[in-house]
Structure 1
Amino acid sequence: MRDTPTAEARLSVAGMTCGKCVARVEAALLATSGVVSAEVTRTPGEALTHYDPSQTSPSALAEAITQAGYSATPEERHEEAAPAPVAPAEEAPKPAGQSTTLTIEGMHCASCVSRVESAFSAVPGVSSASVNLATRRATVHHSGLAPDLLEKASKSAGYPAHADAHDHAVGPADTGDETREMARLTLIAALLTAPVFLIEMGGHLYPPLHHWITATLGVTPWRIVQFLLTTAVLAGPGRLFFTSGIPALLRRAPEMNALVALGAGAAWAYSTLATFAPGLLPEGANHVYFEAAAVITTLILLGRTLEARARGRAGAALRGLMALTPETAPVQTPQGLENTPVSQLAPGDLLHLAPGARVAVDGVVTEGEGWLDEAMVTGEARPVAKAPGSPLTGGTLNGNTALTYRATATGADTVLARIAAQVEQAQATKLPLQRVIDRVTAIFVPAVLLVAALTVAAWLLTTGNLASALVAGVSVLIIACPCAMGLATPVSILVATGRAAELGVIFRQGAALEQLGGLKTLAFDKTGTLTEGHPALTAVLPSGIDRAEALRLAASAEARSEHPLAKALVMAAEAEGLTLAPATDMAAQPGYGLTATVEGKALTIGGKRAMEAANVAIPPELEQARDSAEAQAQTAFFLAADGKALALFTVSDPIKPDAAPALKSLKAHGLSLVLLSGDAPRVAQAVARDLGIDAPEGGLLPEDKLARIEALKSAGPVGFVGDGINDAPALAAADVGLAIGTGTDVAVEAADVVLLSGRLEGLTAAHDISRKAMANIRQNLAWAFGYNVLLIPVAAGVLVPFGGPQLSPMLAAGAMALSSLAVIANALRLRRAAA
């Protein structure tokens, strides 16, 4: 940030509910003429702005926030008077817009998701709730409710829940325990089911076996054996279907467990009646279906085991990333080096990093020089040089040199933890497509119950055979479980965002995964986005002043600036051994330049637009030199003192080596590429020519970029790639904002997608993953819906009058399990995306 200006405004902001809201408000303020800096916090909804009172006012700042879609009120400040005490009765309520993340137990299908969301939405004070079947998590936005109230609402709907502490230093939830428990239940069920299935079905396939069982045990004793084994299956491993499904039925909110409980329970009850009270059944209907009830339960348990394992694989990439940090680290203490658990580290601790060891937490090097492998975080394969003052990221791998570093962030504040938090947020959000599916599945299970009842009634009316009617009804119940529909979208999102994180691409918003692949236009900033962002001074052309003096004055004014051009001046001055003077009254205008006072001289540094605004005449020789430099894609800007132009500086910023192939790949996929730069038009045109961009525009202010983005939207969805503070408005306004991870915090906060490494290879990877993920989701939905549309009528027996087949309950259970596994297996193919 730059020096504090002469005035400060504090505004109360209402309506912010997420990080992107904060970024939009900051972007709106920074785009306002006269604003030097803006810091916005969502809780308690406040904006602290430093500004030039000659150009703007608190009321104008509030209006800028209102135009961005939020309401704002300047806070009255009476600095000479003591603040009046606030009576307890006047205590301000908790701010709106809080959110709570909960882990939900017992969800197995899309209907479960719908029930839990409805339970949360019914709680007064809840504004929205989003439940993800793949991650088993719910995100609830509310007005400051206690977590236990939300837990109670979920539990009352039949789904126990507990609020997450959300320590992202630990990483996403592991499904290992769930997988092991489901595997144990499946094994028990399989061992109990095997005798029933093998002997009963073997007797049909090999009649002598049936005759031997009948002659040895007798029909009734053998049925009693089946009854005992099947009852053990249902009461033991299969009990979870009944403990969840029956209460759901009683609440008139049936879900998948209810369908399984009804199907397996009906087969068991009918067979039990045929075994112990056969006289109550019609003649010829004395059949048992114990094997169907047992096999149904076993197959569905097997499907859930495989599903849990697949979900574990889907989140393995991110968990593996989080597991890179060591458990302990050597900390320098007055007593010497002590191995301390990473969880106990605090900012400011001095740590030692041995050769080949991993960095424990984020920090900054204090001693030593070496190279670190940061590929696991940024996706950048080349080692990165580190020296005193260089930042370190927790989890990265040290080379062959010992280093000492000071911790700057620990726990949930580290880069890895924030990546995990952002990816989990993206995984928990729902795509617009998923919300349509949720509305369909909300009525799906009741509709299936109705179809099953009508099927039983139709079979009874046409055949009079209760056994056949029951078989048809049970088959409909079993085959219609909407597991595949519930998993079709979230599992693909889970795998795709995990794969993207492996490649150094963070989807901060789940909807960006859907939108990125469908963009029509992709606009780019230039400096730091298409170019390296590390410009070097190429020439100083003085006019009426010594060259070294011109460089010294300009570097003195820019010494505290973070702008890449300012750094180029300062580095050049330091390389020449020039002594810089202190600067006062420094103020920056995004898109114009900088003003400061150095040694009593009022300096203005900037391009032609800045000189015109300051009424500075530019000598013809400097004007011609500027034109020549810009024609060669070099940035040129002037130095003026007390209203007189003194020098021209030219700076060269090389194009990133991967920019040309990345943009060529994007054009091959049908994207229209646009360059929106604050640099001179001739510089923008030269860069665009080298990169094959068809529509370059230069000389744009932040508000100009914003206007261009809005205009481009008329031709279809628009994405914008940028890295600077002046890019934040355009990033927030674009349908998909993509920030270079090496850019400013404001730009990153305004974006939907972050390219951690800063390389444009990440952009092509993100686009590829988005396209493949949406294709994958469409395939899953086609399979899930097609499966139900085709097989429910077959299970009901509509083909039987025409000589066609009818599915038995066992085959229906197998088909249902295979449907879910097919969806999961298809989603797992995304782990190879952008390879």
Structure 2
Amino acid sequence: MERVIELEIGGMTCAACANRIEKKLNRMDGVTATVNYATEKARATVPAALSAADLIAVVEKTGYTAAEPAPEPPPAEPARDALRDRLLISIVLSVPVVVLAMVPAWQFDYWQWLSLTLAAPVVVYGGWPFHRSAYVNLRHGAATMDTLVSMGTLAAFGWSLWALFLGDAGMPGMTHPFSLTAREGDAIYLEAAAGVTTFLLAGRYLEARAKRHAGDALRALLSLGAKNVTVLEDGAERVIAAADLTPGALFLVRPGEKVATDGEVVEGSSALDVSLLTGESVPVEVRPGDPVTGATINAGGRLVVRATRVGADTQLAQMARLVEEAQTGKAAVQRLADRISGVFVPVVIALAVGTLGFWLGTGRGPAAAFTAAVAVLIIACPCALGLATPTALLVGTGRGAQLGILIRGVEALESTRRVDTIVLDKTGTVTTGRMAVTEVVPGGPGLSDAQLLRWAGAVEAASEHPIGRAIADAARERGALPPVADFRATAGVGVRGRLEGAEVAVAAGAPPRAPAAAATWVEVTVDGEAAGWIALADTVRPTSAAAVRALRRLGLTPMLVTGDAPEVASAVAAEVGITEVAAGVLPAGKVDVVKQLQAVGRSVAMVGDGVNDAAALAQADLGLAMGAGTDVAIQASDLTLVRGDLTAAVDAVRLSRRTLGIIRGNLFWAFAYNVAGLPLAAAGLLNPMIAGAAMAFSSVFVVANSLRLRRFRPAGTA
């Protein structure tokens, strides 16, 4: 039996670190692990015989720290503040060093010694995170990005010490090291050592801030739940922690309060603000018998709710779990980038040594050769490669969660690019899934629509049948219902009761000349005589037609699949603008429809919400489960749409394609940067300080590009 273990990893500084930990974990028998540099987490599927302590031991032996996630993760601010303080001190000390080196007019006698005094703390204290990481990895026979940084800055600093103490650089009148009048032996690189360290610290600080913002959406999602709840016990109220709720417990939700957990309304009616979970601004009306979701806000009256799911079983917890799992995924191209990062550092060190030897061999002298070699070390750091996919996933999945779209992982993103056909289940997807009164036909003279509906609604008020509830709701909208005596319900037949001195019955039946519309008819009789008929239908969602048009604009061909009769299916399809229809399809037949489309070369997306849709969702190239549906359907899907609205499918495809586009753009930039930068550095066209600034900028650019996904707007918004 296997289980999943998650760990929080500390000490990683680049993608090579994550790649090395991942390799070590995957070498354990039966372990399949993924390590995410951006989220600083590891997720491993392990045999039952292994524990978290076993995995932690391997990670620590590799040179990093690991721990099981805490229930309330501590904020990352203290570590970021320490990095900020180190950066500020380095900036204050390094600016005079750079200015003195670059402006010969400001140089004075023995200015080099002042530069050494200011640069030394920057290289040692400011660069300590790089040096420490390089040392730890060296002890384990590994090299990372920090190895390159540490080697480059210490080499520049060490060369400068040699020039000052053993060469002629400490003599008065020393000019700028890159000046044509400077002697080769006099060159010092203190401004490069200090400047590179400061630039890289700035890049790491900005990267940490951006990564923190990238995870804001998930942290906000995890913090949505109520902290305390008022429970009802033997008629008395008592306040307890929401985490202590148990299934079956009754609790109060007053106006303005959050619903503590998933449950069912027992008493009261109100409007719930569900925007925090679904992104939908329109409140949802609830009454006794309706389900409610934890973390939604009561915007109206007092509710008494019976808890049905608590803790890790709630919809909020499942959403958070899906988002976290998605953020640990890797695209195929990112896996290639990780493998490249793993061997990149030794290759770069070899290239730097080769560059040094080449320029020395050409007679350019040690200063020019050393400059080019250090620039190669600095500019080649593969940080951007490691950040390209995880940061975009972090922001994209977080933004999706805010809009009620849960993306399972990179595979789902890649599928959205390929699909060309989208199969839509009718009930609960294109339609509301709830019956509603569409027509009232009185059968006798002087009998009004309102009176017929009033009689039928009064009798059906005690019924739990969906048709009965729809008739009762429509009747209540027109006024109060009279009391009913001698109520009787006969399964498969109908209901009857006595009211206002008459025997009223409601049963299946259609008027003599019923229109061939997509409707279900019932007959109302009074004292055994036909009084009229009422038509009901599963109504189309108001947004479905616009959603179908939007799907077409995305290059998708919509197809309606339903078990209903052809005339019902055709009527719904015509209303929303769908031309391809498969009617009378049994639940197992939905899988066959998807297979038939795939057999003719189509790439198929499937949208559904019920147990009978689960197999088709799994068969489809891309499965989208409406969040109001069953857990079985959600588990079988690639994307979960928490909003019970077809426009969510449009937004899901748009956001997924946008996120995939950002990932590809990030990876292109990261590869292009290294491909272009290395030859320039090796050719001696970049000095180390500019190389450090470029390397830091590449990482910040990738993260900032990913943060653009936070501005994604759903369809129909400005």
Same-fold call, TM cutoff 0.5: yes
1:435-481 Cα shifts (integer Å, max 9, x gaps): 23223333222222222121111111113522221211111111111
Select between 650-659 and 762-771 the one with higher mean Cα deviation.
650-659
Task: Report the equivalent of 1:447.
Answer: 347
Task: Report the equivalent of 1:316.
Answer: 216
Task: Report the equivalent of 1:829.
Answer: 708
For 1:724 and 1:410, the matched residues in 2 are separated by 22
Q: 1:540 to 1:397 in 2, by over 3 A?
A: closer
1:677-707 Cα shifts (integer Å, max 9, x gaps): 1112232222222222232111112222112
User: What SS does structure 1 have at the residue aligned with 2:433?
Assistant: coil
Q: Establish whether residue 187 from structure 1 lines up as the match of residue 88 from structure 2.
A: yes
User: What SS does structure 1 have at the residue aligned with 2:43?
Assistant: strand
Q: Which amino acid aligns with 1:390?
A: D
Task: Report the equivalent of 1:770.
Answer: 656
Q: 1:807 to 1:580 in 2, by over 3 A?
A: farther
Alignment RMSD:
3.6
- 1:326 is displaced (CA, Å) by 4.1
Task: Report the equivalent of 1:276.
Answer: 165
Equivalent runs, 1:315-714 vs 2, <5 Å? 315-332=215-232, 337-536=237-436, 567-568=466-467, 579=487, 632-634=517-519, 651-714=536-599
Could you tell me whether the CA contact under 8 Å between 1:322 and 1:395 is conserved in 2?
A: no
User: What SS does structure 2 have at the residue aligned with 1:381?
Assistant: coil
User: What SS does structure 2 have at the residue aligned with 1:108?
Assistant: coil
Task: Report the equivalent of 1:786.
Answer: 672
- 1:673 is displaced (CA, Å) by 1.4
Task: Report the equivalent of 1:645.
Answer: none
Task: Report the equivalent of 2:44.
Answer: 140
Q: Establish whether residue 236 from structure 1 lines up as the match of residue 122 from structure 2.
A: no
Task: Report the equivalent of 1:297.
Answer: 197
Task: Report the equivalent of 2:501.
Answer: none
1:604-659 Cα shifts (integer Å, max 9, x gaps): xxxxxxxxxxxxxxxxx999999x77x5233689xxxxxxxxxx997511111100
Q: 1:233 to 1:345 in 2, by over 3 A?
A: farther
- 1:796 is displaced (CA, Å) by 1.1
Task: Report the equivalent of 1:611.
Answer: none
Could you tell me whether the CA contact under 8 Å between 1:175 and 1:309 is conserved in 2?
A: no
Q: 1:683 to 1:718 in 2, by over 3 A?
A: same
Task: Report the equivalent of 1:209.
Answer: 106
- Work out the percentage of aligned pairs sharing the same amino acid: 40
For 2:401 and 2:6, the matched residues in 1 are separated by 21
Q: Establish whether residue 259 from structure 1 lines up as the match of residue 148 from structure 2.
A: yes
For 1:808 and 1:268, the matched residues in 2 are separated by 14
User: What SS does structure 1 have at the residue aligned with 2:540?
Assistant: coil
Q: Which runs of 5+ in 2 are unaligned?
A: 171-181, 442-455, 476-480, 496-507, 523-532
Select between 113-122 and 709-718 the one with higher mean Cα deviation.
709-718
Task: Report the equivalent of 1:158.
Answer: 63
User: What SS does structure 1 have at the residue aligned with 2:305?
Assistant: strand
Task: Report the equivalent of 2:611.
Answer: 725
For 1:264 and 1:188, the matched residues in 2 are separated by 17
Task: Report the equivalent of 2:16.
Answer: 111
User: What SS does structure 1 have at the residue aligned with 2:430?
Assistant: coil
Could you tell me whether the CA contact under 8 Å between 2:424 and 2:607 is conserved in 1?
A: yes
Q: 1:704 to 1:364 in 2, by over 3 A?
A: closer
Task: Report the equivalent of 1:72.
Answer: none
Q: 1:360 to 1:451 in 2, by over 3 A?
A: same
Task: Report the equivalent of 2:645.
Answer: 759
Could you tell me whether the CA contact under 8 Å between 1:635 and 1:680 is conserved in 2?
A: no
- 1:400 is displaced (CA, Å) by 4.2
For 1:505 and 1:685, the matched residues in 2 are separated by 29
User: What SS does structure 2 have at the residue aligned with 1:129?
Assistant: strand
Q: Which runs of 5+ in 1 are unaligned?
A: 1-94, 542-550, 561-565, 584-594, 599-620, 638-647, 801-805
Q: 1:540 to 1:365 in 2, by over 3 A?
A: closer
Could you tell me whether the CA contact under 8 Å between 1:685 and 1:697 is conserved in 2?
A: no
For 2:193 and 2:512, the matched residues in 1 are separated by 87
For 2:375 and 2:585, the matched residues in 1 are separated by 66
User: What SS does structure 2 have at the residue aligned with 1:352?
Assistant: strand
Task: Report the equivalent of 2:175.
Answer: none
For 1:438 and 1:525, the matched residues in 2 are separated by 40
Q: 1:234 to 1:729 in 2, by over 3 A?
A: same
- 1:271 is displaced (CA, Å) by 1.5
Q: 1:635 to 1:429 in 2, by over 3 A?
A: farther
Could you tell me whether the CA contact under 8 Å between 2:169 and 2:188 is conserved in 1?
A: no
Could you tell me whether the CA contact under 8 Å between 2:168 and 2:185 is conserved in 1?
A: no
For 1:443 and 1:509, the matched residues in 2 are separated by 26
Q: Which amino acid aligns with 1:379?
A: G
1:553-603 Cα shifts (integer Å, max 9, x gaps): xx9xxx89xxxxx622576599896845687xxxxxxxxxxx99x9xxxxx
Which TM-score applies when normalising by structure 1?
0.72
For 1:256 and 1:154, the matched residues in 2 are separated by 19
Q: 1:335 to 1:748 in 2, by over 3 A?
A: closer
Q: 1:356 to 1:150 in 2, by over 3 A?
A: same
- 1:432 is displaced (CA, Å) by 2.7
- 1:336 is displaced (CA, Å) by 5.8
User: What SS does structure 2 have at the residue aligned with 1:99?
Assistant: strand
User: What SS does structure 1 have at the residue aligned with 2:33?
Assistant: strand
User: What SS does structure 1 have at the residue aligned with 2:264?
Assistant: strand
1:212-239 Cα shifts (integer Å, max 9, x gaps): x31xxx25xx43x433433322332321
Task: Report the equivalent of 1:810.
Answer: 689
- 1:720 is displaced (CA, Å) by 0.1
For 1:272 and 1:341, the matched residues in 2 are separated by 63
Task: Report the equivalent of 1:57.
Answer: none
Q: 1:392 to 1:771 in 2, by over 3 A?
A: same
Could you tell me whether the CA contact under 8 Å between 1:246 and 1:261 is conserved in 2?
A: no
Q: 1:414 to 1:295 in 2, by over 3 A?
A: same
For 1:173 and 1:430, the matched residues in 2 are separated by 26
For 2:230 and 2:82, the matched residues in 1 are separated by 38
For 2:652 and 2:698, the matched residues in 1 are separated by 29
Equivalent residue in structure 1 for 2:682, among 773, 786, 796: 796
Moved over 6 A (4+): 279-283, 537-541, 573-578, 621-626
Task: Report the equivalent of 1:246.
Answer: 135
Task: Report the equivalent of 2:78.
Answer: 177
Q: Which amino acid aligns with 2:153?
A: A
Could you tell me whether the CA contact under 8 Å between 2:561 and 2:585 is conserved in 1?
A: yes
For 1:480 and 1:710, the matched residues in 2 are separated by 48
Q: Which amino acid aligns with 2:255?
A: P
